[in-house]
Amino acid sequence: MFRVSGIGLSQALRAGLALVAAGASFSASAQQWIMATPYPDSNFHTQNIKQFVEDVKSSTGGKLTIIVHGNQTLFTMPQIKRAVQGGQVMLGEILLSAYGNEDPFFEVDGVPMLSPGFDSARKLWVASKPYVEKRFRAQGIVPLYTVPWPPQGFYTKKPIASLADLKGTKFRAYNAVTARMAELFGAVPTTVQQAEVSQAFITGMVEAMLTSAPTGVDTKAWDFSKFYYDVRVINNKNIVIASQKALDALDPAVRTAVLEAAARAETRGWALSEKTMDETTKRLAAEGLKVEAATPAVRAELQKLGETMAAEWVKRAGAEGEAMLKTFRQ
């Protein structure tokens, strides 16, 4: 298919029509923005975004409204960042680690066992945030806020007592880090975005995956899996980004209101993630999945795998990466 700036022509046309229909522009008088997110309305990230949108509308007295296009209806998740950079949309939500091929700092929160759990994930974000912001701003992007996914676990059709039980399976990967994980324990990585997970399992394209309990609920994992191993190995983060050009074009008072609403969304989102972890894990069990903790053998194997991948990450990230990890580990 013909491409426009790395984005499908049909999607670029839809984005253009959406902007025209909304009357959006980058002028100081702009009153309406377009936002793209890859997740469905039921997902807690999208629910938090909707509260953010209402907060912006209320705190600006209606001077700025935001139209949200969810569930990849405007752009797929790998395309959203480019859409914000190119001005097709003013706001976007992305999984930060999905862009690790651009820069290792974007994927550090996906390194297994480096920062499992919410407290550790927050410390890693504090340490890595200056580096991430620097890279985004060089691309004309302003990071507004981040929210972590709950810790991730394995979804499988068969029981696993060690990572060796995953050898040879077709394993769903959603970024370079999970693809590398799969390679290290002998699985076959297959890139599948969240919206296509259910179909990928049903058709046999994938047989196992590592993801959060909310994603398991969103995709109705009980229809294609039997086990959920709550290993809590990774806390990936989503990040909401804005076009620097669009943000700069706002009236100063409106821009301040957006940034303040973003700060509230981050605080609310972290708390919501913890709450959602408990609720969705219980939902998985209620729907028939056998929910179990990781065996000591699996945890030991994941710890060793994480050490290998952390060393690989430092090699890619260089002196800045080494300095950041030193700060994080202090």
Do 144 and 259 meet the contact criterion of CB atoms below 8 Å apart?
A: yes
10-residue mean pLDDT series, the chain (330 residues): 40 51 47 93 96 98 96 92 96 95 95 94 96 97 97 95 95 94 96 91 96 94 96 94 97 97 98 96 97 92 96 97 95
Global pTM reads 0.87
Cβ neighbours of residue 128 under 8 Å, at least 6 residues apart?
A: 105, 108, 109, 324, 328
Whether the Cβ atoms of residue 32 and residue 64 lie closer than 8 Å to each other: yes
Q: What is the pLDDT of residue 4?
A: 35
Domains and CATH numbers, the chain: 3-96+140-148+237-276 (3.40.190.170), 152-234+280-329 (3.40.190.170)
The tokens for 304 are 């060793």
CB 173 within 8 A of CB 210: no
pLDDT at position 11 is: 54
51 and 147 Cβ atoms separated by less than 8 Å: no
pLDDT of residue 29: 54
SS3 290: strand
